[in-house]
Chain A
Amino acid sequence: MNRTLATAIVNGLLLALAALSLFPLVWMLSVSFMQPGAASHFPPPLLPADPTLHNYRELFVRAGMGRYFANSLLISIGVTLVSVLLNTMAGYAFAKLQFAGREKMFRSLLAVMVIPGQVAMMPLFLLLKQMGLVNTYAGAMVPGLAGVFGIFLVRQYARSIPDELLDAARIDGASEWRIYWQVVLPVLKPILVTLAIFSFLGAWNDFMWPLIVLSDQSLQTLPVALASLSREHVQDNELMMAGSVVTVLPVLLLFLSLQRYYMQGLLVGSVKG
């Protein structure tokens, strides 16, 4: 009896928490299919009485959502490709290649991690202005191109690569570059996926930096565009929910399909740190 009661309480609470977590997202989806104005009623409707794609059409035809979507996608993919390459190279070097000042360099990198990114934003903006990168995709990508967290993640993982494997390749006359591509990267595959998800989600969800560096409307990313849309269309709840769906759905699907890798990275990154 006691055990039955415990089972009921624990699972009941879990169910309530899951409902609280998911309700806003499910409702967003529901409202996004409502007729304009239908959601501005009291009590608010749970399901669309007369489902429509009007809001999505409005977003993509009138509000230029397609453009923002493409901007977000381009910037996120660019950041992901470059940062995965740079971080794996560096992480591998810190784990497996002996070079002068390695440990010292790694320690100072870890120390840098405590500085909040916003401290750098004002000078970074001026620097990019000098380089002509303000209002460019490259400018939006810059802060995500390499990161201490990513390097750390790869280093933790790469340390398990046996030295014998690398030395054998060296004796066979393989160049360091070839060893990296043909021996190291295949071993690092799981962590590559993890790193890629983290980079992609980070770039896709980032708000403050794109807001600062992309004032040109045609270059804006989804979060920036959504924030300014939401200031203009305060009353258009259905439209705004459709905009939120377009912004959130890609990352949610990405997470759901690659969840295992994401969780793994989260734990390597924090618990073992």
Chain B
Amino acid sequence: MSTRTAGWLFAGPALLVIALFFGLPVLAALALSLTDFDIYALADIRNLRFVGIDNYLALLQNPLFWKALGNTFYFVLVGVPLSIAASLGAALLLHAKVAKFRPFFRTALFAPVVTTVVAVAVIWRYLFHTKYGMVNWGLSSLGIEPVDWLGDPHWAMPTIILFAVWKNFGYNMIIFLAGLQAIPEDLYEAARIDGASGWKQFRHVTLPMLGPVLLLVGILTMAGYFQLFAEPYVMTQGGPLQSTVSVLYLMYEEGFKWWNLGNASAVAFLLFAIMTAFTSGLLWLARKRGVE
């Protein structure tokens, strides 16, 4: 057997699995989004009709889609910067020369990342319980009235954002930490000789040197946050007043609660298009500022 055949034989099984269970379905989803596939078609495929871009047009006129999109933007535009700031802050602390017990702190801060979203969301629901929650108890000792965290349309999304930041910041923290360790010490040395203060060193040495890492982290985190689903499913079921319905939550309900699979596929593709637009925007911004 030549290495040429061997190459295909070794790569083959994985490629086949990816093509059959991912590549093919993605293409099929595009086709499906152009049909009215619903529970009748599920029962008998002859009920299926081609509807062109009607699903997309209907979505753009559906107030719930705009609501879900708005909620998802809220989650992404507030959650991603907060997440990244928390990760960077934690990484800077861990990287500080005076930091002690680094391995312990690193593990402790990372622990939430490996936990199961559903399980920790259940914990947070209890922590933020209006009557018995630890958070309201803490606030009451400061003289603040209890807040109906998950029951008030104004507070439900911020609570979910806090949860997401708590759950995820450790991941990017590790990446930032590696980025910080890769910055040559003489750059700081030179800055100090020039009399740069701590903040100026951060602003003119650390941040520019972290540029590419920041860009990468930004793109990955944004992609992840656009896929918000389990948190509202467990903590609020999309409520109150649909204030936490995300785009994927809408897709799940359309597809697997009402079995409008054509419609759900259109939702998925719109989300994908929006994610692509945001990523391109970020890349464009980075290029304009000279980060590569």
Is B truly associated with A? yes
| Closest CB in chain A relative to B186 CB, distance in Å | 21
**Chain-B contact segment, one of A49-57, A58-66, A109-117, A185-193:** A109-117
Tell yes or no: A248 within 8 A of B by CB. Answer: yes
Tell yes or no: A218 within 8 A of B by CB. Answer: no
Contacting A86 at CB < 8 Å: which of B17, B32, B100?
B17
Q: Which residues in chain A, 1-31, are within 8 Å of chain B measured between CB atoms? A: 3, 6-7, 10-11, 13-14, 17-18, 20-22, 24-25, 27-28, 31
Tell yes or no: B50 within 8 A of A by CB. Answer: no
Tell yes or no: B188 within 8 A of A by CB. Answer: no
* A268 CA to B16 CA, complexed, in Å: 25
* Residues of chain B with a CB closer than 8 A to A7's CB: 98, 100
Q: How many residues of A contact B (CB 8 A)?
A: 96
Contacting B116 at CB < 8 Å: which of A22, A102, A248?
A248
A31-B126, A256-B107 are known contacts. Are A126 and B116 too (CB-CB below 8 A)? no
* Residues of chain A with a CB closer than 8 A to B112's CB: 21, 24-25
Tell yes or no: A73 within 8 A of B by CB. Answer: no
Total inter-chain residue pairs, C-beta < 8 Å: 287
Docked-complex contact B108 and A22, CB < 8 angstroms: yes
A25-B115, A123-B28, A270-B175 are known contacts. Are A115 and B272 too (CB-CB below 8 A)? yes
Q: Which residues in chain B, 149-185, are within 8 Å of chain A measured between CB atoms? A: 166, 170-171, 174-175, 178-179
A44-B137, A105-B11 are known contacts. Are A24 and B120 too (CB-CB below 8 A)? yes
Docked-complex contact B131 and A208, CB < 8 angstroms: no
Docked-complex contact B93 and A240, CB < 8 angstroms: no
* Residues of chain A with a CB closer than 8 A to B170's CB: 21
A90-B11, A122-B268 are known contacts. Are A127 and B234 too (CB-CB below 8 A)? no
Q: List 19 A-B contacts (CB under 8 A).
A: A3-B98, A18-B109, A28-B123, A86-B14, A90-B15, A93-B6, A97-B3, A112-B23, A115-B272, A117-B22, A119-B269, A121-B255, A124-B22, A125-B256, A176-B10, A207-B229, A222-B116, A223-B117, A244-B120
Q: Using a CB–CB distance below 8 Å, which chain B residues touch chain A?
A: 1, 3-11, 13-15, 17-18, 21-26, 28-29, 32, 90, 93-94, 96, 98-101, 104-105, 107-109, 111-112, 114-120, 122-127, 129, 131-134, 137, 166, 170-171, 174-175, 178-179, 213, 216-217, 220, 223, 226-227, 229-230, 233-234, 237, 248, 251-252, 255-256, 261, 264-265, 268-269, 271-272, 275-276, 279
Q: Using a CB–CB distance below 8 Å, which chain A residues touch chain B?
A: 3, 6-7, 10-11, 13-14, 17-18, 20-22, 24-25, 27-28, 31, 39-44, 86-87, 89-90, 92-94, 97-100, 102, 105, 109, 112, 114-127, 142-143, 145-148, 151, 175-176, 180, 201, 204-205, 207-208, 211-212, 222-224, 226-227, 230-231, 237, 240-241, 243-244, 247-248, 251-252, 254-256, 259, 262-263, 266-267, 270-271, 273
